[in-house]
Structure 1
Amino acid sequence: MTPPTSSTDAPGADGTTLTVAPGPAPAVAAPTRPAAGGVLVLLGMLLVALNLRMAVTSLGALLDEIRNGLGLSGTMAGLVTTLPTIAFAGLGALTPWLVRRWPAARVLVLAMLALTAGQLLRVITDSAAVFVLTSALALSGIAIANILLPMLVKQYFPHRTGLVTGAYTMSLTLGTTVAAASAVPVAHAFGSWRAGLGVWAGLAAVAVLPWVPLALRAQATRRTASPAAVAAAPARVRPARTRLGWAMAVYFGAQSLSGYAIMGWLAQLFRDAGYAPEAAGLLLAGVTALGVPVALLMPALAGRLGTLRPLVLSLTAFSTAAYLGLAVAPHGLALLWVLLLALGQGAFPLILTTIGLRARTAEGTVALSAFAQSTGYLIAALGPLLVGILYETTGGWTAPIGFLLAALGVQTAAGLVIARPRYIEDEQLTGDGQEEAGVGSPATACSTVG
């Protein structure tokens, strides 16, 4: 694309050169070579997404074996299972700082190397403390990649946000399911939990490969940027100062709270309802498996609709029916409740898509992604904990399900706020979180990928 004659050049978040036309609206980054660079980026994103939950779900599947093998105390085991949300919240918040200093592709290479190294190192140690630290190293890579993927969708596929988000969310869901289902069989086949936990490091290493040439290209582009271009870099986006940013964080947190509570306690609910442990585990796996097509279709639907209100309300209806059904008849209609839960968990791909839809620029996308996810995962960490406390205190599932219904109400209220089309950069410009008349104006810039 030929830049306007009255524009200035500025470096993008991943080393691209942004050509910004005069005017108050932020620029929308659009790659000019999608056929070549876009295919490699898409392959890299799918491989990264495939790895984003494997280190977590494989650990959960083998937790008893790991506790016995390393002599983990109950407190240490609780710390290990809480680490993901802590890492996702804390380390994810650092990602905008990282991409302001290095190209996003280079940051992603380092993130996947951290994931690879952490998964390898934690299976060769006999120390519980080292196991926790190396698990944290692996999770740091996941936390950073979580934030970067929505930004990369905006950077390379600005006109196919829903389709590409759906593809990588489906890959993430597939990886979650495969690791959960395969970790124990792999461990039994090799006679050690270490194999079932460490085998996924190889796939993380493969995910590094597509990003190496992209990182080298972005770094070369950044070196050639002029001082004037550096001075013209876009202003920092601060979602915490906007109503939209907080609504996104609350929606992300409430849906993640529900998701982690379901992953942690649904099997126990079905066991209490009279199902054998194996059947209860299969019903839990069904929620994830049925979520694969939902993960593909939900972003595509979100990208086509002018308002997200119908999707927000539909997802609420599915989850409400599932929770009420689990409270009243958990055994007789279990398959129906599993299906409705899977549909309700479509809130996760919906919010990932919305992050890209509610920002004009790559800078805005990574800032909104970091704030929504880091704040949201802090909220999500309360889910399994509070469900467990209510279950232990009351000895039943009425109170825990009531808590999840209350969280769903909060999620719905936040969802209705983010349903209207508008952009985080425009809310920041007003300073009061109100939508400007210029929202939705045509893009005023283009980029060239180095």
Structure 2
Amino acid sequence: MNTMPDFPKNRLTLPKSLGVLLIIAIILASLNLRPAVTSLGALLDLVIEDLQMNGFVAGMITGIPPLCFALLGPLAPRLAGKRGPELVVVAAMAAVPLGIALRSVAPGTGFFLLCTALALAGIAVGNILMPVLVKRWFPEKVGIATGAYTTAVALGASGVAGIAVPVNQMLGGNWRVGLGFWGLLALVALVLWVVVYFGLKNQIGHHQQQAKTDTQAADLGPMSKNSTAWWVALFFGGQSAVAYIFMGWLPKIFIDFGASPAFAGSLLAILLGVGVPLSFVMPALAAKFANQAPLVIVNGVVGMIAIIGMLIAPLQYAVLWVVLLGICGSNFPLALTMIGLKARTAAGVSRLSTFGQSAGYLLAFPGPFLVGVLHEVTGSWTAPMLLIAGLIIFQTLVGVMAGLPRYIEDAQRQEIL
């Protein structure tokens, strides 16, 4: 079990108090990278009914998040290159509560989708820049720091999915209030990031200059011609497709298998909840390996067991199957850790994060739609489950390649393998 070769160290020591404040800010920002999505999923029926959405528009909502992440994510490095990632995260944390608040008062479907896109734009930027901030400020603790923020992402997703309905009922049962409530969490993150930005202003200036130097020193070439970047992107896309399929369809799958709506909803909460501790463990574990392929293979085998089990005995061992799917879902923090490990500098991580997540989310976007189409055409969940099985095999194969001990800088201008 060998660690990856040396990473560049910060050339300016970060005061301990500021370092603690920064990691808290990163964790709090990460907590806000999913609630705008999962809270909407939990209250979707109420939103559809009130805004009188047709089936096509309602179906689009499940696919909008990865599409927005793919299309809007590339804006992050361009903005960060000019203003620094810290200031851009401040703007992203402002976009999230603003979008959540505005969509809660949306008079119609068009404005609702537009405001949702605004919140998702902030989330997309946060998705891209979290690995960059970790590499920039904690280069010797990539695994631990990545584990902290991916755990926060998982906690934000599972926690809100589990309590969104009770919170909405507690607030009077009005979906507008229930959705708007989660903007308060993002508002707290915004305030803390403003404090962090001004507290780190001198250090930020130093790192911004170093980032320019690293960018000039490393002629990476286009990521689209870098084989390592493509393997990471394909792995990220494969695991994202499976994740968004289950976030959108898992309750309905089990309801159609005969489960009660309450039990089916709890199964999704369990699946997401399993990811909370694993989101901390997996990055730290991955950072200890030069080659992350064995971890990918284990997750793939576990995922296939779950799919086979759901096809053979879906209800009898339902909790076991979703726990196994949750373990397989730890490919998400693993993919994010790879982004931090497969580049030598923060500038390289920024390029890889942008390409890997944007291309990956774009590949993931059709997944939820294809599942719905297959179910509609066949009237069964067998074909959709076989599609999911294929995606798990796909992400395992490309993940093995992505996990090989190499850097994007070592594959400059290579053609895709």
Is TM > 0.5 for Structure 1 vs Structure 2? yes
Residue 242 of structure 2 corresponds to residue 261 of structure 1: no
**Which whole-Å CA distance do the structure 2 matches of 1:375 and 1:181 have between them?**
30
Q: How does 1:201-240 map to 2 (within 5 A)?
A: 201-216=183-198, 234=216, 235=218, 237=220, 238-240=222-224
Residues 218, 102 of structure 1: alpha-carbon distance in 2 compared, 3 angstrom cutoff: farther
Letter in 1 for 2:198: L
Aligned match of 1:17: none
Aligned match of 2:356: 372
Aligned match of 1:102: 83
Stretches of structure 1 lacking an aligned partner (at least 5 in a row): 1-24, 436-450
Residues 230, 425 of structure 1: alpha-carbon distance in 2 compared, 3 angstrom cutoff: closer
Q: TM-score, normalised by structure 1?
A: 0.85
**Which whole-Å CA distance do the structure 1 matches of 2:322 and 2:185 have between them?**
30
Residues 32, 395 of structure 1: alpha-carbon distance in 2 compared, 3 angstrom cutoff: same
Aligned match of 1:284: 268
Aligned match of 1:447: none
Q: TM-score, normalised by structure 2?
A: 0.92
Q: How does 1:1-400 map to 2 (within 5 A)?
A: 29=10, 31-33=12-14, 35-191=16-172, 192-216=174-198, 234=216, 235=218, 237=220, 238-400=222-384
**Which whole-Å CA distance do the structure 2 matches of 1:401 and 1:30 have between them?**
50
Residues 51, 227 of structure 1: alpha-carbon distance in 2 compared, 3 angstrom cutoff: closer
**Which whole-Å CA distance do the structure 2 matches of 1:47 and 1:300 have between them?**
20
Residues 34, 150 of structure 1: alpha-carbon distance in 2 compared, 3 angstrom cutoff: farther
Query: How big is the alpha-carbon RMSD for the aligned residues of Structure 1 and Structure 2?
Result: 2.4
Shift of 1:392: 1.6
Contact 1:30–1:157 under 8 Å retained in 2? no
Contact 1:105–1:218 under 8 Å retained in 2? no
**Which whole-Å CA distance do the structure 2 matches of 1:230 and 1:359 have between them?**
16
Moved over 6 A (4+): 221-232
**Which whole-Å CA distance do the structure 2 matches of 1:31 and 1:283 have between them?**
47
Shift of 1:37: 2.6
Shift of 1:77: 2.2
Structure 2 SS opposite 1:159: coil
Contact 1:52–1:142 under 8 Å retained in 2? yes
**Which whole-Å CA distance do the structure 2 matches of 1:196 and 1:389 have between them?**
30
Contact 2:159–2:273 under 8 Å retained in 1? no
Shift of 1:232: 8.0
Tell me the alpha carbon deviations over residues 303-351 of structure 1, each in whole angstroms, 9 at most, x when there is no partner: 1122112101101110010011111111111121111111111100100
Residues 375, 107 of structure 1: alpha-carbon distance in 2 compared, 3 angstrom cutoff: same
Structure 2 SS opposite 1:210: helix
Letter in 2 for 1:160: K
**Which whole-Å CA distance do the structure 2 matches of 1:416 and 1:227 have between them?**
36
**Which whole-Å CA distance do the structure 1 matches of 2:375 and 2:52 have between them?**
27
**Which whole-Å CA distance do the structure 2 matches of 1:236 and 1:172 have between them?**
32
Contact 2:306–2:324 under 8 Å retained in 1? yes
Q: How many residues align?
A: 409
The structure with more radius of gyration: 1
**Which whole-Å CA distance do the structure 2 matches of 1:189 and 1:303 have between them?**
43
Tell me the alpha carbon deviations over residues 110-134 of structure 1, each in whole angstroms, 9 at most, x when there is no partner: 0010111111111122122111111
**Which whole-Å CA distance do the structure 1 matches of 2:207 and 2:258 have between them?**
65
**Which whole-Å CA distance do the structure 2 matches of 1:226 and 1:108 have between them?**
14
Stretches of structure 2 lacking an aligned partner (at least 5 in a row): 1-5
Residues 30, 310 of structure 1: alpha-carbon distance in 2 compared, 3 angstrom cutoff: farther
**Which whole-Å CA distance do the structure 1 matches of 2:229 and 2:237 have between them?**
12
**Which whole-Å CA distance do the structure 2 matches of 1:157 and 1:426 have between them?**
22
Contact 1:30–1:156 under 8 Å retained in 2? no
